[in-house]
Amino acid sequence: MKTGSVNSSSIMDMFEQGKVLKVCAPMVRYSKLAFRSLVRKYNCDICFTPMIVATDFLRSVKARDSEFTTNERDRPLIVQFAAHDAQTLADAACVVAPFSDGVDLNCGCPQRWAMSAGCGACLINKPELVKDMVRHVRNQVENPKYTASIKIRIHNNLRRTVDLCQKAESAGVSWITVHGRTTEERHQPVHYDAIKTIKDSVSVPVIANGDIKYLRDVESTHQLTGVDGVMAARGLLANPAMFAGYEDTPLQCIWDWVDISIEQGTPFTCFHHHLIYMLERVSSQPERKVFNSLSSTSSVIDYLQNTYGTVQDLGT
């Protein structure tokens, strides 16, 4: 676990500035340090780590070193944990608090393993437990500016979701991220009306999540819901420069990713997978077939230079 500098300002101050905050979602395997470093260059305000299983994190030094890596430029940073009891979450929060700006409790992951372990989306049905978990973090992390947030999915009966959010608010939750789908829904339309109802029912900031693919979606979601921030996942994978207003991944961003990956020693599989996502909308099917078969960093760099040119070529 590598350290970051202690940040004296608070994320809550950012919410008070009145602009709609742009947030990089917690994505398993993908929202690690190198990718966070990239999206921060393109107007991303807050980044989340991938979801970390709190019990494993506390049990193993190896897990801590592999799951949580940061540096002094990686701020503001929220560490997301999967947990099913209050003390485990609070203990994990105390470990990462010196190197981050807040922790987030995952109450939205619908994967079967998470649900069967008592983590993720099953927590939306346990409002008293969520309330206790938030309160434990608030009471046990010494830094008063350190945030404790939750990321949820919605119920079919929205009154239950509002009750959950109000209970979390009473426990001192800093803000709430709402993925506007139920646990059963995957690619169905986002329920913007539900997000608006939740926003209108609490006084803490609310962030909307779901189907953010272009910068214009940030403003339209804000208009529909009144939220304080918007979180993107797949949209940022496809175009890490999305929050800076680019319709597709610009060449500069692709080469920035190459530079960051080499500098940070990103494993090839991760380096390659991110580029596959970035190039999907700007390359033809034959080009994708060739690119996806590449098996070394040097072959990827050669391909990019030969197919798209270098950043220097942009000025010629």
Q: Which of the residues are catalytic? A: 109
Measure the CA–CA gap between 138 and 28, rounded to whole angstroms.
26
Displacement of CA 165 from its chain's centroid (Å): 20
Measure the CA–CA gap between 259 and 242, rounded to whole angstroms.
19
Q: Which candidate, 88, 205, 232, 68, places its Cα nearest to that of 150?
A: 205
Q: Which candidate, 294, 257, 251, places its Cα nearest to that of 274?
A: 257
Alpha helices of the chain — where are they, by DSSP H? 11-15, 33-40, 54-59, 61-67, 86-96, 112-116, 127-140, 158-170, 192-201, 215-225, 234-238, 251-264, 268-279, 285-292, 297-308, 311-314
Burial 243-270 (b: 16+ CB within 10 A, else e): bbebeebbeebbbbbbebbeeeebeeee
